[in-house]
Amino acid sequence: MAVARILDEDPELCERVPEDQRARATSLALARVEVLDIGVWDEPDEPGANHDGYGLLVLEGMLARRVTLGRFDCTELMGQGDLLRPWSFESAAMAASVTSEVTWNVVAPVRLAQLDRRFALAVSPWPEVSAALMDRIVQRARWLAFQLAVCHVVRVDTRLLLMFWHFADRWGRMTRDGARVRIPVTHGVLASVVGARRPSVTTALGRLQDDGLIERLGDGEWLLHGSPPEDFARLADEAQLPG
């Protein structure tokens, strides 16, 4: 299994480390890296040393976490920078009054760093790294709350446009033609993300393309034209509020 310098791979984690200590922190912050191919991912049943560490950090690629409740489901997309602890609360979920099923799919090849107990001990002199990782956990919770809010928007095309701009902020890049982002998922997965049915998503995507708001490029990326919807800008501002 390969080993990576995590603070080189994800420099935001050491932004608050004193500048004169960053080189040493970077040299010590090593973690094993696992590569996941496209397809179903069986999260570790025995987390081992990871259980007493921070969890699993996505360095590259994209995962889809699908929660199924009867005939209903919701999907969370996770990519670079997201921190996972798939084994947490497993016993609580088994004892829950209302049961659900969780499945993981790798939709773009993933490099996953194991921020285990050894890593946690290595970075312990720099609590700024721990704080940055805690920020990632809180950030993920806020993004899920944002996704829940989007699912309450009436029009499916607006839901999709809001989520596309959200994903562009997280994983995209701005070009002179607009924001480009790669979301390698089916219409069915997008439907699960925005709380709609697949045929409605297909129709809504067609409408957005006809209106010139989004464009599917030949390389599989999406190009977003114009500016984010005003509602998105307001929600994004609110998401930055403390608390």
Give the CATH number, domain containing residue 87. 2.60.120
- Looking at residue 15, what is its pLDDT? 96
Residues 208 and 95 in one domain: no
The burial of 152, by beta-carbon neighbours within 10 Å (0-12 exposed, 13-18 middle, 19 or more buried), is given as exposed
pLDDT digits (tens, 9 = 90+) for 37-47: 999 998 765 55
Three-state secondary structure of 32-63: EEEEECCEEECCCCCCHHHHHCCEEEEEEEEE
Degrees (nearest 5) of the Cα angle 201, 149, 161? 40
Residues 6 or more apart whose Cβ sits within 8 Å of residue 95: none
Is there a domain that residue 140 lies in?
no
Looking at the DSSP assignment, which residues form a beta bridge with residue 115?
55
Residues 56 and 118 in one domain: yes
Residues 166 and 228 in one domain: yes
Residues 44 and 82 in one domain: yes
- Looking at residue 239, what is its pLDDT? 46
Q: Which residue, among 141, 115, 15, 1, has the nearest Cα to 58 in the 3D structure? A: 115
pTM for the full predicted model: 0.87
Tell me which residue range forms the domain holding 18.
2-128
pLDDT digits (tens, 9 = 90+) for 12-53: 999 999 999 999 999 999 999 999 999 999 876 555 656 778
Q: How many domains does the chain have?
A: 2
Is there a domain that residue 142 lies in?
no
Q: What type of residue is 243?
A: G
Lookup: tokens for 120: 């946690």
- Looking at residue 89, what is its pLDDT? 61
Residues 110 and 174 in one domain: no
Residues 7 and 92 in one domain: yes
DSSP 8-class letter at 11: G
Q: Which residue, among 191, 4, 187, 196, has the nearest Cα to 111 in the 3D structure? A: 4
Residues of the chain with pLDDT under 70: 44-50, 88-95, 231-243
Residues 114 and 214 in one domain: no
Is there a domain that residue 135 lies in?
no
- Looking at residue 49, what is its pLDDT? 55
Is there a domain that residue 70 lies in?
yes
